[in-house]
Amino acid sequence: MSLASSLSTAFILSDTLCVAYDDPLRTKLFCSTLFMCGVCSVLQTTLGVRLPVYQGPSASFIVPLLALRRDIRWSCTDNTNNGVWTEPMNQHLNLSGSLMIASLIEIIIGGTGLVAPLLKYIGPITVAPTISLIGLSLVKVPIIYSRPQWVIAFFGALLVLIFSLYLYKIKIPMPRLNCLKKNNDEKLKPRSQFAIFQILPILLSIIILWIVAAILTITDTLSTDPESLEYKARTDSKLNIVSMTPWFSIPYPGQFGLPRTSTAVIVGFSAATISSLIESVGDYFAAAKSCQVPAPPDHAITRGILIEGIGSILSGAVGVGHATTSYSGNIAAITLSKVILSLQALKV
């Protein structure tokens, strides 16, 4: 579920920057996003709140990105050539620098210990509406990316509903790695408690939809005209990106240039940072409850917010264009699967 969110966020960022659909920059942004997710997750689990909390692209930052697309200065019809910016990544650098400035909010709140008094006002009544409003503000995102093929999009939504609401009780037997007990005289029975439809409804839907799209591509049922909107639903519409992408690419600070700032972007990212902070505090308590450990103390939450701010500054320096935050979906997966990753495993 975190991989799908990382991919969608990278694509929304690419569309905001008017990057062409076959431009390798899309792949580089996605790879940089995954790289920073791993770095921030390791920092959070070792130096931050020290709970199995996955750090990924914050959905709160998608809202200002969508708002920027309405600005004429960010319009793809302005200063572009066939959908590609003629100016060298000016807007991307503005996102990077503005993100670094906005991330100082979390560093100040976490570094000065202001989180402790704020905890009196951050509870279920404040966290639940914040997360709900973030989700409601992203309604237009699936509409935009469903336009190439509405039938496949509706089919995917239907599969997710069927898997999560009707097939969630079905459990698939899973084999064990060690088939013998310690005395090596009796085999263990296969594990039969893996509710795959309850834990992985979105991933299963994506796999099925890719197979369907591949069949429609092979049979040329989908449009073969590159100028057609339906052409984007083909599985071979972006194969040239694979050949144009280098085998190895290590993201580093300043890989896209020296970050710049924009007042409008700083204001939007600052609001997103505050909502992301509230969401993270709620996720810390949810993760502790899922792991069946005591609620995190004030100093642990303070460290978590501080490390999250540092990770967001690193993300801005690398140029991913969005901050990282804790993922509620992965915490729910811990609750459902009853699998808790140790700090040693996360370090490896």
Q: Which long-range contacts (CB under 8 A, 24 or more apart) does 39-42 make?
A: 39/311, 39/314, 40/307, 40/308, 40/311, 40/314, 40/315, 40/324, 41/346, 42/346, 42/347
Quote the pLDDT of residue 302.
92
- pLDDT value of position 256: 86
Domain of 299 in residue numbering reads as 2-144+241-347
Query: Is residue 216 in some structural domain?
Result: yes
Write the pLDDT tens digit of every residue in 98-120.
Answer: 999 999 999 999 888 888 787 77
In angstroms, the CA 191 to CA 178 distance is 11
Instruction: State the Cα–Cα distance between residues 18 and 81, nearest whole angstrom.
Output: 10
How does pLDDT run across 166-218, given as a tens digit for each residue? 888 888 776 665 555 555 555 555 555 777 887 788 888 989 999 999 999 99
Vertex 69 angle, CA 311 and 243, to 5°: 70
Whether 127 and 113 share a structural domain: yes
CB atoms within 10 A of CB 317: 19
Residues 95 and 126 in one domain: yes
Q: Please check whether residue 179 lies inside any domain of the structure.
A: no
Distance separating alpha carbons of residues 325 and 341, to the nearest angstrom: 18
pLDDT value, residue 184? 54
Q: What is the pLDDT of residue 330?
A: 75
Question: Is 130 a residue whose pLDDT tops 60?
Answer: yes
**Same structural domain for residues 164 and 291?**
no
Give domain status of residue 234, yes or no.
Answer: no
CA distance 174 to 196: 10
One-letter amino acid at 40 equals C
Q: What pLDDT shows up at residue 313? A: 93
Is 305 within the bounds of a domain? yes
Q: How many structural domains compose the chain?
A: 2
Same domain membership, residue 47 and residue 120: yes
Instruction: Give the separation between CA 264 and CA 64, rounded to whole angstroms.
Output: 9
Contacts of 247 (CB under 8 A, 6+ apart): none
Domain co-membership, 213 together with 325: no
pLDDT digits (tens, 9 = 90+) for 244-253: 778 888 888 9
Are residues 137 and 31 both part of a single domain? Answer: yes
**Residue 31 and residue 49: Cα distance in Å, rounded?**
26
Q: How many helices and strands, by DSSP H and E, does the chain display?
A: 16, 6
**Residue 342: inside a domain:** yes
Same domain, 158 and 134: no
The CA-based dihedral angle spanning residues 23, 29, 34, 37, taken in that order and rounded to the nearest 10 degrees: -170
Same domain, 161 and 90: no
Q: Is the domain of 69 the same as that of 100?
A: yes
Per residue in 25-74, pLDDT (tens digit) is 888 888 899 899 999 999 999 998 988 888 888 878 888 887 877 777 77
Percentage above 90 pLDDT, the chain? 18
pLDDT in tens, 210-234: 999 999 999 988 888 888 888 888 8
For 8-37, the pLDDT digits (tens) are: 788 888 877 877 777 778 888 888 998 999
Reported pTM: 0.75
**What pLDDT does 345 receive?**
36
What pLDDT is attached to residue 21?
73
Q: Do 261 and 332 share a structural domain? A: yes
Does 295 lie in the same domain as 161?
Answer: no
